[in-house]
Amino acid sequence: MAKSAGAPAGEMLPSTDGIPPADLLRAYATMVLARTVDERCLTLQRQGRIGFYVPMQGQEAAQVGCAWALRPEDWIFPAYRELAVALVRGITVRTLLDQFIGSAADESKGRQMPNHYGYRRFNYVTASSPVGTQISHAVGAAMAARRKGDAIVTVTFFGDGTTSSNDFHAGLNFAGVFRAPTIFFCQNNQWAISMPRDRQTRSSTLAEKAVAYGFPGVVVDGSDVNAVYRAVVAARERALAGEGPTLIEAQVYRLGPHSTSDDPRRYRTDEELAAWKEKDPLARLKHELRESGLLDDAADARIWETAKEAVAAAVKEAEAQPPVDPMTLFDDTFATRTPQLEAERTEFGELLRQGVLHP
């Protein structure tokens, strides 16, 4: 059970059982799919087939456990590392790859940098690169939902480095004062790019920062999918009961680089990485499933093979799409294009036809 940093000594938040056994194998398959997509996208970026990628290897259990505890009507405000959350929500690998590549099939028409996606129909808000900006947005959306009478929560994801940002403190303070139905989900992966956790704050935990703002902070083992699920279920129940927000610190480790622009070998040791690999969340859940009789080697091999085949097919389909039509540059700003914008569009189209500009 997760310990509450905002409760008196020894007091625990209400808890439930973990992910139902009937769903646990699907949760594992989702984690396997997330790991498979992650590894393939790193390769695609190194090959120059996508421009940028933010890996999440090592954080699968935290993300799947959290997302599994939510409802489709709940709103997600991600950072840029929540691939497994997107998969649980039902966003397909092909849809994500269309965005990473930026083809004509990309629903954002190539207007966001790769790995910064969002989809209204999934209540999944577009990610932005500046850390922490999504926190205030999540609190505002939660307040709006409460005024409308919608029985939902908002969940915002961020890393340990974000707890030093202005938006973190402003968002938590506002949420605490007005009891916003928001879950603040911090994936403490021990490194804010090259800044280690022990240089980020003198606080013994990140979760205890919630105490100053008047609501509970919970520390949970982020490699345990069921522990994360229980913590989020409890936080959601509190929020819907009008008891306000919860800060959850899922302690995880980023096994790969911060992004494809980063070289973690410059600031962390091989020994540290090896120690955390022993706590791989996929290996942990696989062991638990085997012990409970829900998984054997043959079934596990099928899960991995199915994931690899699905990702390979999605990559092939996504790369077969044409590039974004340059003329869409003038769409979506106004319901009806202004005369000036129409003139600029006509001129731009003529330059393309003359070959002066190249798409």
- Whether 355 and 262 share a structural domain: no
pLDDT tens track for 45-93:
999 999 999 999 999 999 999 999 999 999 999 999 999 999 999 999 9
pLDDT reported for residue 2: 52
Q: Which one of 89, 230, 236, 254 is the catalytic residue? A: 254
- Whether 224 and 329 share a structural domain: no
Q: Is the pLDDT of residue 9 over 70?
A: no
Q: Where are the beta strands (DSSP E) in 201-251?
A: 217-221, 246-251
Q: Is 267 a catalytic residue?
A: yes
Q: Which one of 258, 290, 302, 337 is the catalytic residue? A: 258
Report d(CA 265, CA 256) in Å as an integer.
Answer: 10
Q: DSSP assignment of 19-67, as one string?
A: S-HHHHHHHHHHHHHHHHHHHHHHHHHHTTSSS-----TT-HHHHHHHH
- Whether 291 and 201 share a structural domain: yes
pLDDT tens track for 170-193:
999 999 999 999 999 999 999 999
pLDDT category at 3 given cuts 50, 70, 90 is: low
pLDDT tens track for 151-168:
999 999 999 999 999 999
- Whether 184 and 248 share a structural domain: yes
- Whether 174 and 272 share a structural domain: yes
- Whether 242 and 312 share a structural domain: yes
Report d(CA 96, CA 88) in Å as an integer.
Answer: 13
- Whether 138 and 92 share a structural domain: yes
Q: Is 80 a catalytic residue?
A: no
Q: Is the pLDDT of residue 4 over 60?
A: no
Q: Which domain holds residue 339?
A: 325-359
Q: Is 254 a catalytic residue?
A: yes
What CATH number does residue 19 fall under?
3.40.50.970
- Whether 244 and 342 share a structural domain: no
- Whether 212 and 335 share a structural domain: no
Rg of the chain taking only CA atoms, in angstroms: 21
Contacts of 201 (CB under 8 A, 6+ apart): 163, 164, 209
pLDDT reported for residue 22: 86
**Domain total of the chain:** 2
- Whether 271 and 316 share a structural domain: yes
pLDDT reported for residue 21: 87
- Whether 248 and 352 share a structural domain: no
Q: Is the pLDDT of residue 264 over 60?
A: yes
Q: Which one of 71, 121, 199, 267 is the catalytic residue? A: 267
Q: Is the pLDDT of residue 16 over 60?
A: no
- Whether 257 and 168 share a structural domain: yes
